[in-house]
Structure 1
Amino acid sequence: MATVVLLRHARSTANGSGVLAGRSPGVELDENGRKQADELVSRLAAVPIAEIVCSPLLRCEQTIAPLVAGRGLTPVTEPDLAEVDYGDWTNRELKDLAKEKLWSVVQQHPSAAVFPGGEGLANVQSRAVAAVRAHDARVASTHGNDAVWLLCSHGDVLKAILADALGQHLDSFQRIVVNPASVSVVQYTETRPFVLRMNDNGGELASIVPPKPKPSEADGSRPGDAVPGGDPGRTA
């Protein structure tokens, strides 16, 4: 299996507005978000990206645009990586939503949360995890198990994917923080995922690139095995 860079879209006009934008059309990157998108080109310069998969929403498309132009790649649009369908909560102010009974369920028991007129967070995790694993298998089949690909999506969607990769129940996913333009990295194997980075906001990324496969492993380990005592790390 391959390695996926989980990228949250850069800062949008809705971030910090106090309104739950959800799937509202026309939500663009703000000035800071456009700068963050441009900076991704240099941040990921040392990472050979085989493919880019993206949520269909505009703020995600704008986030990957500089990277797509620089790499000459054609992104794959994946509807199952779209933002949560918040239904009747869409475009409402967060201060008002915090007074709803459902708010505490979203905070404390998100696996049971279903947004009125929208979808449940359990369904969000199900569709997003299925999509990332299907694309990962496809990328590995096409480009090899040492391939790296990039996925651009939204905060709650990425938190749900990371919770699955960490083996956590969805009810723990609110403990995970995923900032705008942050990078998390998951390496999938036949037996388990390995979480290499979480909410990285500017560190070097060269070391996430998998080493070229060797004819045989000197320590006798197999792909998917965890290293007792801790991974020795990689040289960039």
Structure 2
Amino acid sequence: MPTVLLVRHGRSTANTSGVLAGWTPGVRLDETGERQAADLGARMAPVALARLVVSPLERCRQTAEALRAVDGPTGARPDPLVDERVGEARYGDWTGRPLSALAKEPAWRTVQAHPSAAVFPGEGGESMAAMAARVVAAVREHDAQVAAEHGDDAVWAAVTHGDLVKAVLADALGMHLDLFQRLSADPCSVSAVRYTPLRPFVLRVNDTGGDLSAFAPPARKRRRRRPASSDAVVGGGTGA
């Protein structure tokens, strides 16, 4: 089955100012975030992307454009496919407020310790469970489409937000959402998941500087076609 590279956007102006941006318009990458995105584009150069899915928010679209600025091994990257389901959590009345103030709210403790029960207050606020459900559904749907259109060796990327990356990883690891705060997704990090008929395999988590060339599809010549396997290698495999 295909491999999805889950990319968190580069560092934003809201990150550096300590504000919960949510869906606030106009939040863009800061200078460090622009550099992170450009570096990631160079790191991803050896990897052909069959699809590039992106959150509609500016910081993610900027990051996706930085990935497209560097051609892959087969030429230009695909045009970004905007999908609101990989957009940021809808934080309701928390949107635009300083994190230092939010940490004093009673609901903050729920978000930290029992996120599956957390519902963000105010108009438009969604639950963390709903956020997780929509992004997992989106990723699995895109993955199935990429498999049908490009085959099991294909690699695609989703440029999204930190909590959404963590939610997809938690689902792939079989973790309850209440445990997803144990995961990290730093700015411009890459995490990788491969879905199979039986189980997902988590291949990488929160990679901010590693070599991504291992995700380049193998050469097809003299390669015998084998069905995708859901089996884990007993004792550990040989690696990429």
CA RMSD of the aligned region, Å?
A: 1.5
Out of 94, 98, 107, which is 1:102 matched to? Answer: 107
Displacement of 1:211 after TM fit?
3.9
Displacement of 1:43 after TM fit?
0.3
Which region of structure 1 is more displaced relative to structure 2, 80-89 or 37-46?
A: 37-46
Q: Residues 204 and 59 from structure 1, CA distance in 2 versus in 1: closer, same or farther, beyond 3 angstroms?
A: same
Hey, what's the Cα distance between the residues in 2 that align with 1:99 and 1:88? 14
Aligned to 1:83: 88
Equivalent positions of 1:197-208 (< 5 A) are: 197-208=204-215
Structure 2's unaligned 5+ residue stretches are: none
Say yes or no: does 1:209 pair with 2:216: yes
Displacement of 1:210 after TM fit?
4.8
Q: In the alignment, is the contact (CA less than 8 A) between 2:48 and 2:217 conserved in 1?
A: no
Q: In the alignment, is the contact (CA less than 8 A) between 1:146 and 1:212 conserved in 2?
A: no
Aligned to 2:70: 70
Matched length: 231
Out of 192, 199, 202, which is 1:185 matched to? Answer: 192
TM-score computed with the length of structure 1 as normaliser: 0.94
Hey, what's the Cα distance between the residues in 2 that align with 1:210 and 1:223? 16
Aligned to 2:143: 136
Hey, what's the Cα distance between the residues in 1 that align with 2:217 and 2:204? 13
Q: Residues 41 and 222 from structure 1, CA distance in 2 versus in 1: closer, same or farther, beyond 3 angstroms?
A: closer
Q: In the alignment, is the contact (CA less than 8 A) between 2:41 and 2:69 conserved in 1?
A: no
Equivalent positions of 1:5-84 (< 5 A) are: 5-71=5-71, 72=76, 73-84=78-89
Hey, what's the Cα distance between the residues in 2 that align with 1:44 and 1:183? 10
Structure 1's unaligned 5+ residue stretches are: none
Hey, what's the Cα distance between the residues in 1 that align with 2:207 and 2:22? 24
